[in-house]
Amino acid sequence: MSALNIKKGANKHSAYNLRPTFSDVEERHTLAVLVDNEAGVLARVIGLFSGRGYNIDSLTVAEIDYEGHMSRITIVTTGTPQVIEQIKAQLGRIIPVHEVHDLTVEGRAVERELALIKVICTGDKRVEALRLADIFRTNVVDSTLDSFTFEITGTSEKIDAFTDLMRPLGLSDLARTGVAALPRGT
Amino acid sequence: MTRQMTGAKMVVQALKDQGVEVVFGYPGGAMLPIYDEVFQQSDIQHILVRHEQGAVHAAEGYARSTGKPGVVLVTSGPGATNAVTGLTDALLDSIPIVVLTGQVPTFMIGTDAFQEADTVGITRPCTKHNWLVKDTAKLSATLHEAFHVAVTGRPGPVLVDIPKDVQFATAAYTPKQKARISRYQPQVKGDLESITELVAAIETAKRPLFYTGGGVINSGPAASQLLRELVEATGFPITSTLMGLGAYPASGKSWLGMLGMHGLYEANMAMHDCDLMINVGARFDDRITGRLDAFSPGSKKAHIDIDPSSINKVIKADIPIVGDIAHVLEDLLKVWKSRGRKINTEAVAKWNARVDEWRKVDCLSFKQEGPTIKPQYALSRLEALTKEHDRYITTEVGQHQMWAAQYLGFEDPNRWMTSGGLGTMGYGFPASIGVQMAHRDALVINVAGEASWMMNMQEMGTAIQFNLPVKQFILNNERLGMVRQWQELLHGERYSQSWSEALPDFVKLAEAFGAKGIRCSDPADLDDAIMEMIKYDGPVIFDCMVEKHENCFPMIPSGEPHNKMLMGDASTKDAIGSKGAVMV
Q: What's the confidence (pLDDT) of residue B573?
A: 52
Q: Quick one: which of B373, B351, B335 has its CA closest to B529?
A: B373
Cβ-defined contact of A40 to B574 (cutoff 8 Å): no
Helices (H), B285-344: 286-289, 325-338
Query: Per-residue pLDDT for B109 more than 60?
Result: yes
Cβ-defined contact of A15 to B292 (cutoff 8 Å): yes
Q: Quick one: which of B392, B366, B373, B386 has its CA closest to B530?
A: B386
- Angle separating helix axes B32-39 and B7-17, nearest 10 degrees: 50
In B126-264, beta strands by DSSP E: 129-132, 157-163, 170-172, 208-212, 238-240, 255-258
Q: Any chain B CB within 8 A of the CB of A2?
A: yes
Catalytic residue among B128, B164, B300, B471: B164
Specify whether the CB–CB gap between B98 and B150 falls below 8 A: yes
Q: How far apart are CA A4 and CA B174, in angstroms?
A: 64
Over range B424-436, report the average pLDDT. Answer: 98
Cβ-defined contact of A1 to B489 (cutoff 8 Å): yes
DSSP string, A119-175: EE--HHHHHHHHHHHHHTT-EEEEEETTEEEEEEEE-HHHHHHHHHHHHHHHEEEEE
Q: What's the confidence (pLDDT) of residue B250?
A: 98
Specify whether the CB–CB gap between B164 and B33 falls below 8 A: yes
This prediction has a pTM of 0.93
Query: Per-residue pLDDT for B260 more than 90?
Result: yes
Q: What's the confidence (pLDDT) of residue B224?
A: 98
Over range B358-387, report the average pLDDT. Answer: 96
Query: Per-residue pLDDT for A18 more than 50?
Result: no
The more confident residue out of B228 and A3 is B228
Q: How far apart are CA B262 and CA B403, in angstroms?
A: 9
Cα–Cα separations (whole angstroms), residue A55 to A29, A177, B35 = 11, 17, 45
**Backbone φ, ψ for residue A70 (5° rounding):** -115, 140
Q: How far apart are CA B68 and CA B62, in angstroms?
A: 8
> What's the half-sphere exposure (Cβ side, CA atoms, 13 Å) at B177?
1
Cβ-defined contact of A11 to B578 (cutoff 8 Å): yes
Specify whether the CB–CB gap between A14 and B582 falls below 8 A: yes
- Measured between CA atoms, the residue of chain A closest to residue B316 is A21
Over range A97-118, report the average pLDDT. Answer: 95
Q: How far apart are CA B411 and CA B430, in angstroms?
A: 23
ipTM: 0.91
Over range B317-346, report the average pLDDT. Answer: 98
Residues 6+ away with beta carbon under 8 Å from B252: B228, B231, B232, B238
Q: How far apart are CA B145 and CA A36, in angstroms?
A: 15
Tell me whether residue B10 is one of the annotated catalytic residues.
no
Q: How far apart are CA B345 and CA B206, in angstroms?
A: 8
Q: Quick one: which of B503, B394, B395 has its CA closest to B451?
A: B503
Q: What's the confidence (pLDDT) of residue B490?
A: 87
Peptide bond into B554 cis (omega under 30): yes
Q: What's the confidence (pLDDT) of residue B35?
A: 98
Over range B107-114, report the average pLDDT. Answer: 98
Q: Any chain B CB within 8 A of the CB of A53?
A: no
The 10s digit of each residue's pLDDT in B175-185 is 998 887 778 99
Over range B456-472, report the average pLDDT. Answer: 98
Specify whether the CB–CB gap between B241 and B538 falls below 8 A: no
Smallest Cβ–Cβ distance between A22 and the set B128, B316, B576 belongs to: B316
Q: How far apart are CA B270 and CA B256, in angstroms?
A: 9
- Measured between CA atoms, the residue of chain A closest to residue B571 is A1
- Burial code (b: 16+ CB inside 10 Å, e: under 16) for B173-193 equals bbebeebeeeeeeeebebeee
Assign B213 a pLDDT band (cuts: 50, 70, 90). very high
Query: Per-residue pLDDT for B90 more than 80?
Result: yes
Query: Per-residue pLDDT for B400 more than 60?
Result: yes
Query: Per-residue pLDDT for B435 more than 80?
Result: yes
